Chain A
């Protein structure tokens, strides 16, 4: 059968509040980071990316912060909506071509 894995960490927020999803990485050579949203039964959907020469990047309702000193990445979603409910993954390239995914966070938006 399938492997039994850890349950995804869950973040529950009220509709309209801001959400902050965190991610830690270990490879100091990583120079490109991406946040993805994955809905049930679908492939990952690009949200926003950031390169290591930046520490902040903003998109529509989303902001990514990169702290290279502590190898930490965060995704901020402003005015969270029910449609934002999904699993969010950070991913990084480790300085190469392969994209490695973090463990993921389940975001649940409560009405």
Chain B
């Protein structure tokens, strides 16, 4: 079956620093990858959609200069949280899709804590 690997699973960083999260599709090529953020006891909120080789499309209210997304290959997308602050602490989850008509495969998530 389709497998998505997300790394790291947990990260603690100091306020003001940047953190990169990787999302890899291990056994399929993902034309589209999605990034979500989830606060405790809440649902997954879509942050952005990225298609391989093109700029990501961000949801309303998500700062594109703060959450940098790169989808340079069909198997890898990265999310960089720049100048992280404590309010960015959250659970970040990626999802990958082979294409329209295919299912969505989720990574295991990254717990980001900014201190």
Pair A43/B107 contact, Cβ less than 8 Å: yes
Q: Nearest Cβ in chain A — how far from B91, in angstroms? A: 8
A-B contact count (CB 8 A): 65
A38 to B6, CA, bound (A): 16
Q: Which residues in B have their C-beta under 8 angstroms from that of A41?
A: 91, 109, 111
Q: Which residues in A have their C-beta under 8 angstroms from that of B54?
A: none
Q: Which residues in B have their C-beta under 8 angstroms from that of A46?
A: 103-105
Interface flags for B68-83 (1: CB within 8 Å of A; 0: not) read 0000000000000000
Q: Which residues in B have their C-beta under 8 angstroms from that of A7?
A: 41
The interface residues of chain A, by DSSP majority, are classed as: loop
Q: Which residue of B lies closest to A43 (CB)?
A: B106
Number of contacting residues on B, CB 8 A?
30
Pair A1/B86 contact, Cβ less than 8 Å: yes
Q: Which residue of A lies closest to B94 (CB)?
A: A43
Number of contacting residues on A, CB 8 A?
25
Q: Which residues in A have their C-beta under 8 angstroms from that of B90?
A: 2
Q: Which residue of B lies closest to A8 (CB)?
A: B41
Interface flags for A90-111 (1: CB within 8 Å of B; 0: not) read 0000000111111110000000
Q: Nearest Cβ in chain A — how far from B27, in angstroms? A: 15
B residues neighboring A (CB under 8 Å): 6, 32, 34, 36, 39-46, 49, 86-87, 89-91, 93, 95, 97, 100, 103-109, 111
A residues neighboring B (CB under 8 Å): 1-3, 5-8, 34, 36, 41-46, 49, 89, 97-104
